Amino acid sequence: MKQIKIFFIMITLLFSYGFARSSAESVKIKIITDKANVYLEPNENSVVMDTVGKGEVLEISETGESTGEWYNVSYESIKWGTRMSGFVKSSMTEMLTEILIDDEVDRDLESSVVLVIKEGLVLRLKPNENSLALKNIPPGAKLNVEESMGDWLKINLPPDKDGIVITGYIDKSFIEPEKSIPVKLEKKIEMPVKEERVEEIKPVTVYRAVERTKTERKKIGPKKGFGLYGGYAMPSEDNYKGGISYGGILHFGITKNIAFELSGLRFQSEVEKDPDKLSKGDLSMIAILMSIQFRFQVGSIFVPYIAGGGGYYLNDFSIDNELKEDWNLLGFDINEEVENSFGFHVGGGFDIFISDHIAFNVDAKYCLVNSKGAWTFSNQVISQEVTGDFDEIKLNSLIFGVSLKILF
């Protein structure tokens, strides 16, 4: 019940203050301690509504009560984002008399350019000395003023090379106008200040930007690296069976859209008897392929591509041992060979970047390879040998697989 009562009191204070503001001359005070609490009522056992920092300027309410130890004040609260009113202890403040200037002059001040004249200027998140430090600003820097708040100016730093803008507050004592501009005049009224112990607050530096003017999206640029490959090869001819393929990859990024890959793959196929070509046996192929990739930057993780190229195929064929032994029993020796050959391939795939230096790859390519061969048939009894050639041996195959790439 107590919390509900306090809530309605705060709401009433927030919305009622706007009707009591003077249009001629106002009396203001400035916080001179590291921090000061704003209370709902003029006693330290009352509810603390807000905390203001050193250098913040508050306006004494003309319609509210003020005693020797307490001021009834109003101000723009950074924490709550609205105008607040409450009580602060007079011992934590000093009196200021501010000559108000019209709205047109205020706009000139807020759009003016100031010059940093002293070292040690720190851009802070809020307009007080104990607020988070965002960036050190060197002497000679020119700054655009967005708003004036007592001893503080709200400014925007120029965008950096990535388009990032940092917004914060600076102390007026470190700057001077670059050109003649209207400023607010302040006259101090010296008042006795009662010393009061306030707990020291240590400043904390935060290394981060508080505002960004554009969305950052990392692009995968040219990279070089290597990888391990594993997959499956499917020959196009019916008499050739598929087999496991494996090997290695060297990747060379030229631009973000073009890359070369040198790969070495090995696979073995079981050959069934073909009356016009090879006998039953095993065909082993080592393919050395050079591919050019045309890559598409569709995101920071997923990069698809199409590819094409050529290669050299090292072929080795061995006749089935049982078939060879059957011919030996009859007094004959049989041997067949497949020549090495050149070929071409087309395909595509995609990279999924797990991190900046590791990518998972899925790839498929169709290889167009034609080769030639020779056979020898020897009669061991009469030492007679017959030879012949295979004019065209089609070794076309579809190869698909996955790889893990390490890039740098």
* Closest by Cα among 285, 289, 308 to 248: 289
- The b/e string for 237-256 (b: 16+ C-beta within 10 A; e otherwise) is bebbbbbebebebebebeee
- Rounded to an integer, the average pLDDT of 383-405 is 91
pLDDT of amino acid 220 = 57
Report residue 288 CA to chain centroid gap. 37
- Do residues 367 and 310 make contact, with C-beta atoms less than 8 angstroms apart? no
- Domain ranges within the chain, ordered by starting residue: 2-98, 103-185, 224-407
Q: Which tokens in the block code for residue 31?
A: 């916080």
Reported CATH class of domain 2-98: mainly beta
pLDDT of 185 > 50? The answer is no
pLDDT bin (cut points 50, 70, 90) of residue 163 is confident
pLDDT bin (cut points 50, 70, 90) of residue 70 is confident
pLDDT of amino acid 66 = 53
* Closest by Cα among 139, 100, 94 to 116: 139
CATH 3.40.50.300 fits domain 224-407: no
Interatomic CA distance for residues 229 and 120, integer angstroms: 57
Interatomic CA distance for residues 74 and 62, integer angstroms: 10
Task: Tell me if 2-98 shares its fold with 103-185.
Answer: yes
> Which segments within 5-116 are labelled E, that is strand?
26-31, 35-39, 48-53, 57-60, 70-77, 82-89, 93-98, 113-116
Interatomic CA distance for residues 108 and 145, integer angstroms: 10
Q: What angle do CA 293, 296, 297 make, to 5 degrees?
A: 130
Each residue of 230-243: pLDDT tens digit? Answer: 999 999 988 899 99
* Closest by Cα among 379, 388, 393 to 338: 393
- Do residues 253 and 387 make contact, with C-beta atoms less than 8 angstroms apart? no
- Do residues 291 and 273 make contact, with C-beta atoms less than 8 angstroms apart? no
Reported CATH class of domain 103-185: mainly beta
Amino acid identity, residue 261? E
- Rounded to an integer, the average pLDDT of 132-145 is 86
The residue behind tokens 């740098």 is 408
How far from 299 is each of 16, 165, 220, CA to CA, in Å?
A: 52, 24, 8
Paired with 316 in beta bridges are 284
- Do residues 58 and 93 make contact, with C-beta atoms less than 8 angstroms apart? yes
pLDDT of amino acid 179 = 54
pLDDT of amino acid 232 = 96
- State percent of the chain over pLDDT 90: 35
How far from 213 is each of 110, 118, 139, 163, 207, CA to CA, in Å?
A: 21, 29, 26, 6, 18
pLDDT of 251 > 60? The answer is yes
Each residue of 328-359: pLDDT tens digit? Answer: 888 889 899 999 999 999 999 999 999 989 99
Interatomic CA distance for residues 405 and 359, integer angstroms: 5
Lowest-pLDDT range of 362-366, 379-383, 386-390 = 379-383
pLDDT of amino acid 26 = 57
Report residue 175 CA to chain centroid gap. 35
Each residue of 22-45: pLDDT tens digit? Answer: 333 457 888 999 999 999 889 889
pLDDT of amino acid 189 = 46
Lowest-pLDDT range of 53-62, 127-136, 202-211, 395-404 = 202-211
- State percent of the chain over pLDDT 70: 76
- Rounded to an integer, the average pLDDT of 156-167 is 79
pLDDT of 91 > 50? The answer is yes
- Report pTM: 0.48
**Composition of the chain by helix, strand, coil, percent to 5:** 10, 55, 35
Q: Which tokens in the block code for residue 179?
A: 């050109």
The residue behind tokens 């497949």 is 338
Average pLDDT taken over every residue of the chain: 79
Interatomic CA distance for residues 240 and 244, integer angstroms: 13
pLDDT bin (cut points 50, 70, 90) of residue 213 is very low
Interatomic CA distance for residues 390 and 388, integer angstroms: 7
pLDDT of amino acid 304 = 95
Each residue of 275-323: pLDDT tens digit? Answer: 667 889 999 999 999 999 999 988 778 999 999 999 999 999 999 998 8
Q: Which tokens in the block code for residue 32?
A: 């001179």
> Which segments within 212-280 are labelled E, that is strand?
224-235, 243-253, 258-271
pLDDT bin (cut points 50, 70, 90) of residue 59 is confident
Interatomic CA distance for residues 304 and 347, integer angstroms: 11
pLDDT bin (cut points 50, 70, 90) of residue 266 is very high
pLDDT bin (cut points 50, 70, 90) of residue 61 is confident
